[in-house]
Structures are given as structure tokens and as C-alpha cells.
């Protein structure tokens, strides 16, 4: 059988720094577990613009469509802020999501015991937290037409359009219900049906799919603003949250702080099944290119490493190996190994990105 194939797009800023640690783990799987991945690397984001004048070359897009899974670091940076909108680094990532049709973005927020004291919220609010935000990723206000900056009379007007079709809502709802059945069987859907027609349709379709196909799953609805409040007040009331593209972006950054740091949150962006039965997929940390710490060896590689663990689970049917990686992360955190973003006000000596990766490798070795 052919080796599983992976396209690595490390991107900009801390992207290549955190991805270097994932590459060590991929190599570890080859030498210690006999699992060899066919790895190809390419450019996305600002670095692709610097080389090709576009944040995603067509050849790279074609490679992404052909592999079993894509692993992405991060894109963007202040040096690209004034580029034309069409070639901004972020457009490369959005093109990947859209053309691969990765409509279901799983963003788990799990609070490791060792970090329960470190969250900005009280320990009892976050200890043991394990929720997943399912963010719709290929539609909504990110892609709706009309969009643009136009002139109206003697002033400019910026326009974006929130647009959702019934089938777009239905497929992400199914993805959330399926996930809930494998977890604690509870879905909370978030929109603003009180002020947006797209929110009214969202609520109706989620309810219909539930009643027809998933009556066994407990479903509730919440306005997204109240949901943000509840996420901070008592996040453990949730199991799976399903929401649209923009609300999911905001709610998942907020959820990151429940776990201690944005540097901890992985994600899986999944599409329709391919010929091998596994979903088309891209895995990436929730965080960005972190220009403020890029190039200093300070970045926390755990979000990217846990994203690779999600790839093992969802693209390569290696759930046990995914758990092995997650347990290794849990072990180093329990041992008190901390990158700078995980240091509290009391201080301490942080480890570097590479030292965190090495500690996780040592924990993997110890797991054999």
C-alpha cells in the first residue's frame, strides 16, 4: 500500500518554527513506529507572494487537492498589510478552504489539568473542559456577494454579505451531530436569529436536520452574543457548538483562553469523503503568524503538534497514535515544561519552541 501523503505548508512568521517541531514528530513516526509519510513541502501566504506574486500558486493548489492531508502553519504579517486585497497572505488560506470545500472546521478547546490554574478564568470554571466548536468554513460573510469597497455619492462604502444556503447549513449541522454522537451527544447551535434572516434560516435548518435525522442528540439554540457570555461564564455546559464562519472565528479565539493560550488550540478543516473514504482535510493551529514573537524561538508548538494528532485521527485512521501524541503533550505539561505563553505572573524559566518539541519527543519515546 502507498504511504500516506502529506503536504506541508509552513507559511509565515512562527509557522515554520512550530512546523519544524511537527516534522521531528513525523520523522519519529518513521523511525520508531514504522509509519512513513510521503511529505511534500510548498509555500503559502506571504512567502508564496514573495516568490510567485500570489499567496497560493496553482501548482500548490493542485498538490493540496491530490494529497491525503494538508498541514498548515500560519500565514500573514505586517509587511504584507498594504498589499492589494486579492494577493494578501490570508487569501491563500481562504482559497485552500474554498476550493477544497472544507466546510466543517473542528476547533476543540480542551483544558489540560496542568494548565487549569493558568487560564484567565477561575480553575473550577475550566478544569476538565473538553468542548468542540464546529465552525462553518466555506461560506457566510467571508465569501458572500456582493462585496467590495464602492463609491456611493461622495463617500465610500464597504460591503460584505452574509449568505447561507439551506444545503450549506445542513451539511455542517450533520457534521456537528455526527461528532456529538461520538462524544456527549449534545449540540448547541449559535447564530443571531433575532436580527439576521440568515440566522433565522440557520436555526430552522439545524432544527429540521435534528428532528429528521438526529432526534437522539440533545439540541439547543443560543444567540451568538449570549453564547460568548456563556462560554466565559460556564463553558462546561457545552459539548459541541455549531456556528457560522465569522461567529466561529471569534468564539474559537475566545475559547482558546479557556485552555490557557492560543498556542494550545489545534484545528481540523474537513470536507467531503475522498475515494479512500477519508475526508478531504487541512490541519492547522487556530493561531496566526504571531509577528510579535516570530524569529525568536518563543512560539508554543503544541497547537501545531495537536493539529498533526488530529490528522492521525481523522485522515489516517490512527486514533491510538493520535492519543499517544496527545498523552505526550499532557505529560510534558504535567512535568511543568512551559513555553513563554504558558508562564504566569509568578514567572519562571520558559523553554524554547525546539525544547518543547524535544520534550514531547522524549515523552513519545517513553510511551513505547
Q: Which residues bind ligand NAD (CB under 6 A)?
A: 14, 18, 74-77, 90, 93, 262-263, 284, 287-293, 299-300, 303, 341
Annotated binding site for Mg(2+): 225, 249, 253
Name every residue whose Cβ is closer than 8 Å to that of residue 42 and which is 6 or more positions away in sequence: 7, 8, 9, 48, 57, 59, 60, 63
The CA distance from 222 to 224, in Å, is 6
Please indicate whether residue 142 is annotated as part of the active site: yes
Q: Is 90 in the site for ligand IPM (CB under 6 A)?
A: yes
Choose from Mn ion, ligand IPM, ligand NAD, none: what does 77 bind? Cβ within 5-8 Å by kind. Answer: ligand NAD
- Could you confirm whether 253 is annotated as catalytic? yes
Question: Whole-angstrom Cα distance, residue 88 to residue 90?
Answer: 5
Q: Measured from the CB atom, is 143 or 223 closer to ligand NAD?
A: 143
- Selected catalytic residue, list 192, 214, 244, 331: 192
Q: Is 112 left (phi over 0), alpha (psi -120 to 50) or beta?
A: beta
103 is catalytic: no
In the bound state, the residue with its beta carbon closest to Mn ion is 249
From the list 45-53, 207-215, 227-235, 241-249, the region that binds Mn ion by CB under 5 A is 241-249
Known binding-site positions for NAD(+): 77-90, 288-300
Indicate the residue among 4 and 77 with the shorter CB distance to ligand IPM. Answer: 77
Q: Is 12 marked active-site?
A: no
CB 266 within 8 A of CB 260: no
- Residue number with CB closer to ligand IPM (139 or 324): 139
Active site residue 249: yes
> What are the contacts of 294-298 at 24+ separation with CB within 8 A?
294/12, 294/13, 294/14, 294/17, 294/77, 295/17, 297/17, 297/352, 297/353, 297/354, 298/339, 298/340, 298/341, 298/350, 298/352, 298/353
Q: Which residues contact 118 (CB under 8 A, 6 or more apart)?
A: 260, 261, 342, 344
In the bound state with Mn ion, the residue whose beta carbon lies nearer, of 287 and 324, is: 287
Q: Does 50 bind ligand IPM (CB under 6 A)?
A: no
Name the residues that contact ligand IPM, by CB under 6 A: 76, 90, 93-94, 249, 286, 288
Q: Among all residues, which ones are annotated catalytic?
A: 142, 192, 225, 249, 253
Amino acid at each position: 500500500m502507498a504511504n500516506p501523503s502529506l503536504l506541508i505548508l509552513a507559511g509565515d512568521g512562527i509557522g515554520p518554527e512550530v512546523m519544524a517541531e511537527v516534522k521531528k514528530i513525523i520523522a519519529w513516526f518513521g523511525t520508531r513506529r514504522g509509519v512513513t509519510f510521503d511529505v511534500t513541502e510548498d509555500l503559502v501566504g506571504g512567502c508564496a507572494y514573495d516568490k510567485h506574486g500570489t499567496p497560493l500558486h496553482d501548482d500548490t493548489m493542485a498538490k493540496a487537492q491530490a494529497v491525503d492531508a494538508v498541514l498548515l502553519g500560519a500565514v500573514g504579517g505586517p509587511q504584507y498589510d498594504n498589499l492589494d486585497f486579492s494577493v494578501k497572505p490570508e487569501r491563500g488560506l481562504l482559497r485552500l478552504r474554498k476550493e477544497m470545500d472544507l466546510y466543517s472546521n473542528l476547533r476543540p478547546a480542551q483544558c489540560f489539568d496542568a494548565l487549569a490554574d493558568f487560564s484567565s478564568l477561575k480553575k473550577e470554571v475550566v478544569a476538565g473542559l473538553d468542548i468542540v466548536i464546529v465552525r462553518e468554513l466555506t461560506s457566510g460573510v467571508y465569501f458572500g456577494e456582493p462585496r467590495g469597497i464602492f463609491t456611493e455619492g461622495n463617500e465610500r462604502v464597504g460591503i460584505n454579505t452574509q449568505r447561507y444556503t439551506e444545503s450549506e447549513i445542513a451539511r455542517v449541522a450533520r457534521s456537528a451531530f455526527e461528532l456529538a454522537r461520538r462524544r456527549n451527544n449534545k449540540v448547541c447551535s449559535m447564530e443571531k436569529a433575532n436580527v439576521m434572516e440568515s440566522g433565522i434560516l440557520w436555526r430552522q435548518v439545524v432544527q429540521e436536520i435534528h428532528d429528521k435525522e438526529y432526534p437522539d442528540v440533545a439540541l439547543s439554540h443560543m444567540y451568538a452574543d449570549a453564547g460568548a457570555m456563556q462560554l466565559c461564564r460556564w463553558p462546561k455546559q457545552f459539548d459541541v457548538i455549531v456556528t457560522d464562519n465569522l461567529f466561529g472565528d471569534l468564539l474559537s479565539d475566545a475559547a482558546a483562553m479557556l485552555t490557557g493560550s492560543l498556542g494550545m488550540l489545534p484545528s481540523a478543516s474537513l470536507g467531503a469523503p475522498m475515494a479512500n473514504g477519508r475526508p478531504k482535510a487541512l490541519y492547522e493551529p487556530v493561531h496566526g503568524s504571531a509577528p510579535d514573537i516570530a524569529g525568536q524561538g518563543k512560539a508554543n508548538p503544541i497547537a501545531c503538534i495537536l493539529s498533526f494528532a488530529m490528522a492521525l485521527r481523522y485522515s489516517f485512521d490512527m486514533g491510538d497514535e493520535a492519543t499517544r501524541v496527545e498523552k505526550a503533550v499532557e505529560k510534558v505539561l504535567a512535568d511543568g515544561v512551559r513555553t513563554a505563553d504558558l508562564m504566569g505572573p509568578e514567572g519562571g524559566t520558559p523553554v524554547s519552541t525546539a525544547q518543547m518539541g524535544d520534550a514531547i519527543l522524549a515523552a513519545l519515546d517513553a510511551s513505547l
